Structure formats: C-alpha cells, structure tokens
Chain A
Amino acid sequence: GNSVTQMEGPVTLSEEAFLTINCTYTATGYPSLFWYVQYPGEGLQLLLKATKADDKGSNKGFEATYRKETTSFHLEKGSVQVSDSAVYFCALSFGNNNDMRFGAGTRLTVKP
C-alpha cells in the first residue's frame, strides 16, 4: 500500500546548524508529496509541497525535492532557528480520494 517512512527523532540542533530530515515513500503511481509542521499545542500547517517528479517545494528557508528515482522527499534547511522547533511530518496524497498518509513525525529541537 501507499506509505511514508521518515527519519526517527528526536533531532536536536544548535541554532544556525544545517537540517536534514529524511523521508521516503512507497506508492503505486505518482503521488503528491508534502511536509507539514506542527507547533506545540497546534494543528498541522502545510510547510511545502511538490506534485510531480523533480519539483522543488520551498517555504521559510525549507526545501524538499521530489526524487522519483530514490522515492524520496528529504526536508532541508541551511540554518535553523529556535523558532523552527516543532514536529515535522512527511505525507503523500494519492488517488482520487485525496486521503493522506503521514509519516510518524520527527521532533526537532533547536537550542540557542
């Protein structure tokens, strides 16, 4: 079935460090891929997305490239800030029903 596997956390970084959170997917066909962010006590917010192979999604300094050959959508940021501390979810959406499959989430803590 369709599923997403993402890097286990928690991840702890110092401010201005480079961030990578790995995400790979299994799907029949070509899903749309997403990264969502969840701040403490809140719902999920869409961070970025890509709808086809080689697309790059970007927002707030975060980037992810849809790689069909490696079935991956790794999240990267060149210089993290304390305010980036949150849980990050990789997800795919596939098929006409539009339901999403989420990874387990990766908790990121950025220390000053």
Chain B
Amino acid sequence: NAGVMQNPRHLVRRRGQEARLRCSPMKGHSHVYWYRQLPEEGLKFMVYLQKENIIDESGMPKERFSAEFPKEGPSILRIQQVVRGDSAAYFCASSLRVGQGNNEQFFGPGTRLTVL
C-alpha cells in the first residue's frame, strides 16, 4: 500500500507565476490535510478536505490560495501570483476517518516551493 504521494518534490517559480501542488492520499483515505512549514518553523494547518468538500480552511490565506479534492484524482493546492514569502515546504497528510483512536494522519514527503 503506497503512502501519501506528493508531486513535484521541488518546485521553483518566479514571482507572479502560479504554483500547483498535488497530493494523492493513501489508498482508501478520504480525508486530506495541507500544512505549510516555513524554514525553521513548525507546521501550520492550512486546510482540511474530504472528497469534493472543503471542511475547514481556517488556516489558509484568503487571497491567492485555493484547494480542492475532486471525486477523481489528487488533491490540489493552488497558489496564484506567488510571492517570495510563499517559499516553504508544503505537506499533505491523509487519514482514514475521524474519531478517537482512528485519527492518525499519514504525511507525504512534501513539496518544497522556492519563489525567485
């Protein structure tokens, strides 16, 4: 059973371009989470999605950032008109179901975004 897959692993963009980050959850997992890790900092929650629904986007900037998790295909985190401050590692995690004892999140290897 493959783990959480993220691609690309490294992404370089110039200011003003768009960045699209992909996450394929573990097989059977329908809950996906995106986190951002700035250099030398911890992970900050961005958004929680289930298939075709955004459940909690309280950690996501209101502008330029969007996320989706379509019925078919990977979850996408999209950053429009990137700025240097967007440079970070973006981690995706997935879980099988919510609830006590069943809420372990499995993390992907991350996408390291560098904005020039």
Give A contacts to B, CB under 8 Å: 32, 34, 36, 42-46, 49, 51-52, 89, 93, 96-105
B104 x A97 contact (CB < 8 A): no
Mask of B24-38 contacts with A, CB within 8 angstroms, 1/0:
000000010101000
Mask of B88-114 contacts with A, CB within 8 angstroms, 1/0:
000101010011110111111110000
Known: A43-B107, A51-B101. A102 touches B56 (CB 8 A): no
Q: Does chain A have a CB within 8 A of B48?
A: yes
Interface size of B in residues (CB-CB distance below 8 Å): 27
Q: Does chain A have a CB within 8 A of B116?
A: no
A102 x B43 contact (CB < 8 A): yes
- Give the nearest-CB partner of B44 in chain A: A102
- Give the nearest-CB partner of A98 in chain B: B98
- Give the nearest-CB partner of A45 in chain B: B107
In the complex, chain A residues whose CB is within 8 Å of the CB of B43: 44, 89, 102, 105
Smallest CB separation, A66 vs chain B (Å): 12
In the complex, chain B residues whose CB is within 8 Å of the CB of A101: 45
B98 x A104 contact (CB < 8 A): no
Partner of A105, one of B4, B41, B105: B41
B59-116 CB contacts (< 8 Å) to partner A: 91, 93, 95, 98-101, 103-110
A93 to B110, CA, bound (A): 20
Partner of B110, one of A43, A52, A102, A105: A43
B100 x A102 contact (CB < 8 A): no
In the complex, chain B residues whose CB is within 8 Å of the CB of A45: 107
B95 x A102 contact (CB < 8 A): no
Q: What are 18 pairs between A and B in contact, CB < 8 Å?
A: A32-B100, A34-B104, A36-B107, A43-B91, A44-B107, A49-B104, A51-B101, A52-B100, A96-B98, A97-B56, A97-B98, A98-B31, A98-B103, A99-B56, A101-B45, A102-B42, A105-B41, A105-B42
